[in-house]
Chains A and B, each alone.
Chain A
Amino acid sequence: MLRYLASRAGQALVVLWITYTIVFVLIQTLPSDPVTIFLASDAGADQELIDRVSALYGYDRPWFEQYALQLGNLLRGEFGFSLSTGQSVLERIGSVVGSTLALASTGLLLSVLIAIAISAVAFLVDSPRLRAIIVAAPSLFSSIPVFWLGIVVLQVFSFQLRILSLFPDGSLLSLLIPALVLAIPVSAPIAQVLLTGVEQASELAFVKTARAKGARPMRVFWHHVFRSSLGATTAVIGTTLGVLIAGSVITETVFARPGLGSVLLRAVIAQDVPLVQGLVFLTTLVVVVAALVVDLITPLLDPRVLRSVGTRGVSRLGA
């Protein structure tokens, strides 16, 4: 187990290092440096100002020095400084990140609940027609443009029903409704994994054994079908974080919530590359840490996983 832990943590560090390198290479392919790009739109900026700021951010040095310098900063927990405000990335988002976290975690929780509900109903329902509709839900959910869904929800709840204020007012409803919008696309991949388990259930030999014992459908679902999909489900929840972050940014914009989204979008519009770069690292770090946590949890949920240490990837049901 210790060896497993160490190997996974080591892999996570390597992944972070490579992502850093990929982003660094992307910046190097720019026709000029980020400072020039940022100040290009500013009529008052002269070459002297550009040079001074470049020197401050280290963009005047040769690429390998920049590479080492920025990597060193990252290792000290410095994600970079904004060109527009001069604040560090963490300072910049510190005041608003709580709102984003609340939205994202509520959204994730709701998406898991939606996914479980879909798979349970699909397993228990007898009518083939109803089941076909339920089974199709995830692929519909993953095709919905979140920004549009947000607008439609806003239209219905704010303009038609008038139960939701157009701007967040701190009420539970103003958190739950955006979170639900966010949860719809995020639930799709989770539900898909659970549904795969359910769809296979009629063919899977161990489900047959459970049914042959005389177990009630509810028991068969929770103790056998759901329980054996749990490892794969946890793994897929880890990979939905990217979708969750994207969805949060868009949902925040649509519902005019302050948060990571507003900071990020302003930075993109201003072409504040160092700030955007810092936010990319920060979110990557979150994804990698989440994946690490998932990797540590799955062996507890699925005893088959530890056997395949080193051969990346969790073996799916009975496969």
Chain B
Amino acid sequence: MPDTTTSAAPALQLDGVSLDYRLGRQRVRALDDVSFSIGQGEIVALVGESGSGKTTIAGAVTGLLPRTATIASGRILVDGTDVTRLTESRWSRIRGRKVGLIPQDPGASLTPVLTIGDQVAEIFAIRGERLGRAERRAKAIELLEVAEVSRAADRLTQYPHELSGGLKQRILIAIAFGLNPALLVADEPTSALDVTVQKQILRVFDRLAREHGSSVLFVTHDLALATDHASRALVLQRGRLVDDAQVSEIVDDARVGYTRELIAHARATQSALPPADAADETDAGAGTAPGTGTAPPALEVRGLTRSFAGRRGADATLAVDDVSFAVPAGRTVALVGESGSGKSTTARMILRLVDPTSGEVRVGGRDVTAVQGRDRLTLWRTVQLVYQNPDSALDPRWTVGRIVAEPLAAMGLYPAGERRARVQELLDAVALPEGTIDKRPGELSGGQRQRVAIARSLAPNSSVVVLDEALSALDVITQERVLQLIERLQRQFGVSYLFISHDLSTVRRLAHHVVVLRAGRVVEQGSAREIFTAPRTDYVRELLDAIPGHRLLAGTGSPTRTAPNAQTAPTAPTAPNAQTAPTAQTVPTEGASPR
């Protein structure tokens, strides 16, 4: 236990720190005159978008910045010691004792060729403790158990690649607290993990921080997470500290404009009532009653199943298991699940990039399960895909004009002379600035690139667009703008979306109907309203519960005040037949018989 009573110095203090990165012969300012301090035992969140400099601060206070970084001015004190300009070997005496780190990416943060036991026991060697074999083992097990690592004794002989991401993060937490530093820097400790795992990990982290009385600098891009776990928040924007306030103040009444914008966005995604109108509730389940006389849904899958053969005679695994749902015309259906739940495989089967093992895919009422080879062209004229990462989805050598025109040229849709006009029309529709048509993807921002990808997906006049985690690679603010664009395009062109996401807060904004997948199976589906307000299964309740931001929502600010679709929201709860909408659980399983 650090004796918090005798140490008068703050755990961390930054005085007017400015920091540059060398890029070739240029210098780029990453931090500009940043000052703040963290008291002993205080838990402070550092919030900002990517590129705001928050990871740079984490690096600067742990001495783990890349070699291209130089502190131009200012002073950094860790537990009273000036660490502004230390050599690597001096730093190595500060780290571990005075400041510790819980890294961002647990997957890569343990040395792959050493056992967990070696890596935990290394902290005894570093502290110069001479322990016997048995003693070392016992202490290592004890450390792991405190961080709630299951089967701790067995873990000692395992290698990192044999463990899950959540377990690795617990081990890293065990190591960090095992060293018992005065200040702990947690750098986006759970951004690589699923929400449910994130919640468990942060519970362990909160408990250990309390028990050790550690000061914590909690770095995150997620304001909701920050307000849940910290008592004070620092808000960073483009290298400048724009806000430093108690979480309670921020939640109730943020004084700084940028913080207000972040809060508004967080609230909008946390609490926005699902898009709904009277027709919604009746349409939502249209797919479940095929052939009842109404127009066929834009897209429908029935009993979709995909098994992958196990390696070397292992049992085949079902990546997708008997999945059925429908996307009505002009609506958005969200396919939700944690990583590995089968969302992407489902999308790829719909696009006929992967062959279903059984089940069927219908587009506009037509069965496309059996189309092969070039026959898939007609399918792709109707159903298009937007990828998660706009960087890899656009050929860096092609101009935007050529990229968006590719479907037109390859499918022979418009006469060659009219293609450019059509491309310009599409670029206007996605609100890209004049002149974008002749630029290459490298010259555009991430958000603009995603707009190009969306324009391409609409080029063949497609009526269904599959958005495969299409917002997850973007910054929150950019995410918000693209979200609005997607909503507008739906109103304008009547496109249907299959919105694939692990992020329930954006799903809440966009989806009319939600399908929740877990391990390849549909655990629950229904109108967005039902799923978010009255989930029927424990799993979905758990998922909803794991969304950070309870404190934000509990604040006095009205949740719907800033929601962009607040106008339509109040009418929705009174929809009369909300309860009667049939759900997927009752889908007839014809044609879904496994082989």
Give the B-binding residues of A (Cβ under 8 A). Answer: 126, 128, 202-206, 208-217, 219-220, 223-224, 227-228, 230-231, 301-304, 307, 317-318
Contacts and interface: CB of A to CB of B under 8 A. Distances in A.
Nearest to B107: A205
B111 A224 contact: yes
A213 B103 CA distance: 11
A126 B87 contact: yes
Contacts of B175: 209, 213
Contacts of B93: 214
Contact of A213 (B108, B112, B114, B123): B123
Contacts of A202: 66-67
A214 B109 contact: no
A212 B100 contact: yes
Contacts of A317: 112
Nearest to B158: A303
B259 interface: no
A212 B101 contact: yes
Contacts of A205: 103-105, 108-109
B385 interface: no
A239 B175 CA distance: 39
Contacts of A216: 89, 92, 126
Given A212-B62, A214-B97, A216-B89, A227 B114 contact: yes
A317 B109 CA distance: 12
16 contacts: A206-B111, A209-B103, A211-B92, A212-B96, A212-B100, A213-B175, A223-B122, A227-B111, A227-B113, A228-B112, A303-B112, A303-B159, A304-B112, A304-B159, A304-B161, A307-B161
A211 B111 contact: no
A130 to B, nearest CB: 13
Nearest to A3: B312
Given A205-B109, A212-B95, A128 B161 contact: no
Given A214-B92, A216-B92, A217-B92, A209 B161 contact: no
B140 to A, nearest CB: 14
B64 A318 contact: no
B88 interface: yes
A216 B91 CA distance: 9
A201 to B, nearest CB: 10
Interface string B126-142: 11000000000000000
Nearest to B113: A228
Contacts of B125: 219
A206 B88 contact: no
Interface string B74-110: 0000000000000111011111110011011100111
Contact of A214 (B67, B87, B95, B112): B95
B485 interface: no
B114 A223 contact: yes
A213 B122 contact: yes
Contacts of B176: 212
Residue from B88, B112, B122, B175 whose CB has the most chain A CB atoms within 10 Å:
B112
A243 to B, nearest CB: 27
Contacts of A224: 111, 114
B241 interface: no
Interface in B474-523: none
Contacts of A302: 112-113
B89 A206 contact: no
Contact of B101 (A209, A230, A303, A307): A209
Interface string B167-191: 0000010011001000000000000
A9 B122 CA distance: 38
Contacts of B103: 205, 208-209, 212
B162 to A, nearest CB: 8
A215 B92 contact: yes
A231 B114 CA distance: 12
B427 to A, nearest CB: 37
Contacts, number: 101
B112 A210 contact: no
A152 B95 CA distance: 49
A223 to B, nearest CB: 7
A209 B67 contact: no
Contact of A303 (B88, B109, B161): B161
A315 B161 CA distance: 13
A203 B92 contact: no
A216 B90 CA distance: 9
A224 B87 CA distance: 20
Contacts of B179: 213-214
Nearest to B123: A213
A206 B109 contact: yes
Contacts of B66: 202-203
A308 to B, nearest CB: 11
A217 B89 contact: yes
B180 to A, nearest CB: 11
A213 B175 CA distance: 8
Nearest to A227: B113
Nearest to B160: A206
A128 B67 contact: yes
B64 A208 contact: yes
Contacts of A304: 112-113, 159, 161
B113 A231 contact: yes
Nearest to A207: B111
A206 B159 contact: no
Nearest to A131: B67
B104 A213 contact: no
Given A204-B108, A212-B176, 20 more contacts: A205-B103, A206-B108, A208-B109, A209-B111, A210-B111, A211-B92, A212-B64, A213-B96, A213-B126, A214-B127, A215-B96, A216-B126, A223-B122, A227-B111, A228-B112, A302-B113, A303-B112, A304-B161, A318-B108, A318-B112
A103 to B, nearest CB: 33
A8 B160 CA distance: 26
Nearest to B94: A214
A318 B101 CA distance: 20
B92 A209 contact: no
Contacts of A307: 161
A121 to B, nearest CB: 14
A230 B113 contact: yes
A304 B115 CA distance: 12
A205 B111 CA distance: 9
A128 B114 CA distance: 30
Contacts of A214: 92-97, 126-127, 179
A139 B113 CA distance: 28
A128 B179 CA distance: 31
A212 B104 CA distance: 13
A301 B112 CA distance: 11
Nearest to B66: A202
A303 B122 CA distance: 19
Given A126-B87, A217-B89, A217-B92, A206 B126 contact: no
**Which 7 interchain pairs have the tightest Cβ spacing?**
A214-B96, A212-B101, A205-B108, A205-B109, A214-B95, A206-B111, A303-B159
Contacts of A212: 62, 64, 95-96, 100-101, 103, 176
Given A210-B111, A212-B103, A217 B97 contact: no
A232 B575 CA distance: 64
A203 B95 CA distance: 17
Contacts of A303: 112-113, 159, 161
A32 B101 CA distance: 72
Nearest to A216: B92
A209 B113 contact: no
